[in-house]
Structure formats: structure tokens, C-alpha cells
Amino acid sequence: MPRSSLSSFFYLYLSLLSLVCPVLLVCQSWNSLQAQSKPHKPVLHGQHWIAITGKPLAATAGAQIFSQGGNAIDAACAMLAATCTMHDALSWGGETQALIFDPREKKVVGINALGVAPTGATADFFIQQGLRYPPGEGAQAAVTPGTPGGLMIMLAHYGTFSLEQVLKPAMELAQGYPIETATSEWIEDSKETIKQWESSTRVFLPHLGKVYEAPRPGEIFRQPDLYRTLEKCVFAEKRSLARGSSRKEAIMAAYDRFYRGDIAEALVEGCRKEGGLFTHADLANWQVHVEEPVVGTYRDLEIYKLTSWVQGPAMIQMLNMLEALDMRSMGLNSSRYIHTLYQVMNLSFADRDFYYGDPYFPPEEPLEVLLSKSYARHRLTQLNRMQNDPHIGPGDPYRWRGLEHPFPEEWKGFVEGNLEHIGKKDMASVIDQRRDFLAGTTSIQAADASGWVVSITPSGGWLPACIAGNTGVGLSQRMQSFVLHPKDGPYNVLEPGKRPRATLTPTLALKNHRPYLCFSVQGGDTQEQNLVQFLLNTVEFGMNVQEACEAPHITSYQMRASFGEHAFSPGKLAIREDLPSWTRKELEAMGYILEEQERTSGPITAIYFDPIHQTFWGGASNHGDDTGIAW
């Protein structure tokens, strides 16, 4: 063959190869993703009702209530009570946040049952102790209990059963249940911390002085003090009913006994004995707020989240930016997809870190602008499409209002603060903390054929928990989510009576004004990251609800953590260990420091509402004990 012909042939070969190789890579990537998305658990199908949560026994409690004729709120309250009683990552002194779809009004309502900082819990109080942030454990880390009030308000307003009926499974568990291996080991690992507190030692360490001091796996774990506290609530309801009160009034009588009666007195006494700051007025004045949630849109979906006292609005900010991008064409979990998602998440979380706080306290959060599509388009102009940007800071939503920024110095300094060096040791502790959250905390999803839907993400009082005296109630550790200095976020500075900005964030998605998805997850600051990826998996990549729950996710640690020392690490990226090697190399070239994890998807719990067959599809990640029951 003549040399000119050989040259022409070789050029044609290279040209064809340049066209075919990307196709081969796409096919290889697709086959890999198909293997990754193959779920370990089956989809849960139901026609009449569905109950999903982080504990099998708690899911059984929900199923019991459904089988007795209760609605989704009744069942969710029973699951909430059961999970609080089973401890590990939440106790009765923790907090509850929920979104409820009310089929009577055809609207979504929010339940704000997050506790507040007690009297005496001021920024100066902790600064004088030499602290940069409020403490992360012990009685001084506690905000007022929120879960009991949240449960009773939900049940009174939207349920049909009595408090006695929904507390029955939890009270049986308090009398004794076979403790799981994970919880047993967590108690054992935490025992030196637990020994600081007399009441916690008595409850959690029944084999004190032996080699293994925690309840052993499978051993009957008993909580008689907690049983008596729940029994007092039920007695208050019964007395009120005997006097001719309505169901709702009787439940509120139990509420009053917990927050204003002898239970409150015991809580204050037990908390203050351990150095806590609660007063009777703190409990008596605290209240649950039934709120209007914030709402955004993505494609043809309406996305409902709780407002700025949690991180929920950050997901709407992310979706506003992602909607303007063609994420599907990038290829699921390609380097370009991961990089774009990472940058969008960091833009949103920078705003969260600076602007989010308790909306019932000044200054007013500029949420309307933060959640607007025009602001999202502006933020996208700051997206670095080639390299990770460690300099990402909060935007300036006030410019859209034609106003001066109320905190110009703090705003300018926030970016500089984001560049502080965080070493590998700090990053490892953040990841270990996330694994603790994944190991035991919970979420709750419930729905019924009459149209009631509820998504709850309760938490607080996780192990090692400080128990308040003889109440059996493990106290929250949510105080640490405040900041003490305006330079660390002027909207979230600690004040008595104020709620800390929490990470807990249930989600409801509606389509054509009807429930479409109900989902939430655990994992602290990673929650919105998991949830936005779950939604993309279903909407953009056609996964069913179980595939989307288990699919590999990425996690950014570039935002400021809401716990401990509020550590952050620009460029750190958690990936699942089966991410292809070529994708890793491309990400490292973009400036990322990769952290491998066996599982990165949650654990998410979710319900999909099949509009064609009028049935439920349930999903739960394969991280731990999350499970569901349907009928």
C-alpha cells in the first residue's frame, strides 16, 4: 500500500477511534452504574398503608397502630415513641421536625418541635469557659426537650388515636426489649463518658465493674424510670378524659404535665444536678410551632422543606441551580457530574452557614431572595467548572433588594475563615462522627390510603446521653449547633429562648398537587447532600425508590460542620469505594482529596406514590436497621 494511502488509513483509524472510545467509556460507565444501582433490598409495596423507620421493632409498632385502624399520623407517632425509647441516636429529650400532608386541606404543614436554649445559656457564659463553640455533651449541651411536645401536638391535631394507644408499644419497650448489637456496642464504647452522669450510669451500665458493662446483645434492656414518665403522661390523659374532655384536650393535659407539672419539675431538678441550665419557665414557655414550610420547584415537582431553623432550604437552593444545568447529559457520577454537584452544594451550604437561623429571632433571614431562581442564576456565575474552589463563601442576597448588607464585616471575614487550615486528623474525626450518625439515628415515613403522609427526622439525646435524674429522659446535645461569635454566622448566635440551626430535614415532593415522594435521611450535615442526590436519581436517571436509596453518593466536607468544633475541609470528597479509577484520577486533577467509604447513600428512607396504580413503593438504604412494613 502506498505511503500516502497508509497515512490516510491511519488518520481515518484514529478519527474512528476518537468517536468510538467515548461511546465505549459511556457503555462501560453505564454497565458499572447498573451494577452499582442494583439494590440489596427489595422494594416495599403497599396498597393500604406503609410504615418505614430506622428500627425493625419501631416499624412493627407503626404496623400495629395501622392494623388497629389508626391513620399515618397515629402510626408515625407510635414509631417516634418507640425509636426514642430504643435510644442510641435519639432519646425522649431530643427534638422532632416533621412535614405532614393533610388530605383534608390538600396542603403541607410543618412541625417545629426543636428545643430552645435555656435561661443562662448565653454566648458570654460559654466564652468565659474558654469555649469557641457550645459544648457537645452533658447537661449544658441540652436545649429543652422537643420530641414529647412534637409528638403530642401532631397526634392531637392530625391523629385519631389516644396518647395511651400510640405510647403502648414504647411503654412495652421501656419495660424491656432485647437490645441490638449495634446499640450495645455503642453503649460499651461510650461507657467512660456515661460514667460522668449518675442517672445515665444506672440506666446504661447494668454490669458496672465487669469487663463488658453495657447490656449485652440480646439482653433485655429495661428502663423503669422512663416507663413511669410515660405512664404519668397517660394518667394525665385518662384523668382529663374522665372529666369529660375531648381527645385533643386530654392529650394536651398530658402535654401540660410534661412541660408544666411534676415531670417538668423532675426534669429541671435532674438537669441542674448535672450542671444544666434549665428552669421551670424554660419548659413552661416553650411551644411547638405548626408552620408554613418553604417550597421550591424542580421540573414539574413542588419540593417542601422546613424553614431556616433547619438546613432544609439549602436543598431548594441546590435544585434551583441544578435545574439550570443538564445533569443527565453529564452522566451519573462521572467526574464532571460529581464536580458540578460538589460546587453547587458548596455554594448553597456557604449561604446556609452564614444566613440560616431561628426565624422567630432577629435578624430576619433573607430567605425569600436566597430561594429565588434569579439568585440561583447569579450564584451559578460563580461556579468554577474546571477546579474545586476552596474560596466559596456566602453570596449577597441583599443586593437584590437594593439594600446594604447588615453584617458587611462578618460577611467579608467569612470567606477568610473558610480558608483556615483543617488537618487530616480533623477531617477523620468529622467522617467518624458521620458514621456514628449513620449507625443509629433514624427517620420516619408513613402514609395511608386516605391520603395522610408524614416525614419525620427526629434526633437528639444520642449516646452517650446524659439522663435527667429519675425521669429516664436522655437530654439533647443540640446546643453545639449554635455559634458564639457573629463572625461564625450572625443569624445563629446563641441566645436564651432561641433555637439552634439544626441539620434535621424531612422532605415532601408533590406532583400535580398530590404526594409524589416522601423522604428523609440521617447524617448531620450530609443530609441535604444525600437527599438532593436521591431526587436526581429518581427524576433524572429513572431509578425506582429502592435503587435511589442505595445508589452511590458523594459527600462534601467543605461546609462548616454543625457539631463539635464546626470543622470543615475544602476539597475533601467522600466517594464510594467502587468509583472507577479513571473518575478518581480526573477528580484528583481537579483538586479533590478523596476519602473512600464502603457506603455513601444515607441511610435514606422513602415512599413513592404510584399515580397509575394508586399504591405505595417503599425504600430504605442498606446501611443498618432501617426497614419498613406495608399492607
Do residues 84 and 147 make contact, with C-beta atoms less than 8 angstroms apart? yes
Q: Average of pLDDT values for 493-502? A: 98
Paired strand residues for 434: none
With H, G, I as helix, E, B as strand and everything else as coil, classify residue 464: coil
Q: How far apart are CA 344 and CA 528, in angstroms?
A: 12
Angle of helix 335-355 relative to helix 408-418, nearest 10 degrees? 140
Q: How far apart are CA 332 and CA 51, in angstroms?
A: 30
pLDDT higher for 416 or 549? 549
With H, G, I as helix, E, B as strand and everything else as coil, classify residue 602: coil
Give residue 602's pLDDT band: very low, low, confident or very high (50, 70, 90).
Answer: confident
Which residue has cell 439544626? 502
pLDDT confidence of residue 523: 87
Provide CB contacts within 8 A for 484, sequence distance 6+.
Answer: 123, 126, 127, 131, 132, 133, 134, 493, 494
Do residues 608 and 516 make contact, with C-beta atoms less than 8 angstroms apart? yes
Selection from 458, 480, 444 nearest residue 88 by Cα: 458
Q: How far apart are CA 433 and CA 117, in angstroms?
A: 23
Q: How far apart are CA 352 and CA 370, in angstroms?
A: 10
Question: pLDDT, tens digit, for every residue of 234-265?
Answer: 999 999 999 999 999 999 999 999 999 999 99
Question: pLDDT, tens digit, for every residue of 49-96?
Answer: 999 999 999 999 999 999 999 999 999 999 999 999 998 778 999 999
pLDDT confidence of residue 13: 36
Hey, what domains does the chain have and what are their CATH numbers?
A: 63-291+452-488 (no CATH), 295-441+518-630 (1.10.246.130)
Selection from 522, 538, 539 nearest residue 599 by Cα: 522
Do residues 462 and 91 make contact, with C-beta atoms less than 8 angstroms apart? yes
Left, alpha or beta for 566 (phi > 0: left; psi -120 to 50: alpha)?
Answer: left
Instruction: Render 134-167 in DSSP notation, one character per residue.
Output: --SSSGGGPPPP-HHHHHHHHHHHH--S-HHHHH
Do residues 141 and 134 make contact, with C-beta atoms less than 8 angstroms apart? yes
Question: Distance of alpha carbon 475 from its chain centroid, rounded?
Answer: 18
Selection from 320, 404, 406 nearest residue 363 by Cα: 406
Average pLDDT, the chain: 91
Question: pLDDT, tens digit, for every residue of 533-559?
Answer: 999 999 999 999 999 999 999 999 999
Give residue 21's pLDDT band: very low, low, confident or very high (50, 70, 90).
Answer: very low
